[in-house]
């Protein structure tokens, strides 16, 4: 874009021009030392132009990716702001007056949910353990293990019944 151009002083401009002339002279001396044929020279020019095009393409792609990433971040921030605004608008007037109480209620519900999930996992593990114990007990060990298995089974059933009653 036009705004991205940088102005330079005349002394800087002359310095850059001299630097370019020096590089040009070095390139001419190297090319004379190589003594390339016209075909080789043309092939070299083609390779150089392809490299410069590739660098330009990669630079454009990087800029495009960077721009897309920035747009995604802005879009995500806008969505989050919209969600926050929606949540604020949905709060009841009572909740608006007492947001701490509503936050505590939300925390309590989440805590109960986490406790329930934890208890369900424990019950599932208990049921699996009981099933494994029943499968691994041989008939000769059955008399000794039978009481232990029955006790665990009773505890599991008791906990499950308590859960059903507390609903």
- For 102, residues 6+ apart whose C-beta sits below 8 A from its C-beta are 91, 95
Tokens of 41: 């020279």
Could you read off the pLDDT of 43-68 as tens digits, one per residue? 988 999 999 999 999 999 999 999 99
What percent of the chain has a predicted confidence (pLDDT) above 70? Answer: 82
Specify the pLDDT at position 95: 59
Specify the pLDDT at position 63: 96
3-state class percentages of the chain: helix first, strand second, coil last, to nearest 5:
90, 0, 10
Specify the pLDDT at position 164: 64
* Mean pLDDT score of the chain: 82
Place of tokens 């075909």: 39
The whole-model pTM stands at: 0.36
Cα distance between residue 98 and residue 87, in whole Å: 15
Size of the chain, expressed as the number of residues it contains: 167
- pLDDT at residue 87 greater than cutoff 90: no
Place of tokens 């995500």: 76
Could you read off the pLDDT of 125-153 as tens digits, one per residue? 877 777 777 777 666 666 666 677 777 77
DSSP secondary structure string, 60-87? HHHHHHHHHHHHHHHHHHHHHHHHHHHH
Q: Looking at residues 22-45, what average pLDDT do you find? A: 88
Cα distance between residue 167 and residue 164, in whole Å: 6
């Amino acid at each position: 874009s036009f705004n991205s151009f940088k102005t330079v002083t005349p002394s800087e401009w002359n310095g850059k021009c001299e630097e370019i002339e020096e590089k040009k002279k070095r390139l001419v001396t190297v090319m004379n030392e190589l003594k390339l044929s016209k075909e080789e020279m043309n092939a070299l020019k083609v390779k150089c132009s392809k490299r410069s095009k590739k660098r330009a393409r990669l630079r454009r792609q990087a800029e495009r990716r960077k721009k897309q990433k920035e747009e995604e971040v802005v879009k995500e921030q806008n969505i989050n702001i919209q969600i926050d605004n929606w949540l604020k608008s949905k709060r009841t007037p009572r909740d608006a007056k007492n947001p701490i109480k509503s936050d505590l209620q939300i925390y309590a519900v989440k805590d109960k949910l986490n406790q329930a999930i934890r208890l369900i996992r424990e019950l599932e593990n208990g049921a699996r353990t009981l099933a494994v114990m029943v499968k691994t007990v041989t008939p000769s060990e059955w008399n000794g293990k039978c009481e232990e298995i029955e006790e665990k089974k009773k505890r599991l059933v008791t906990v499950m019944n308590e859960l059903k009653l507390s609903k």
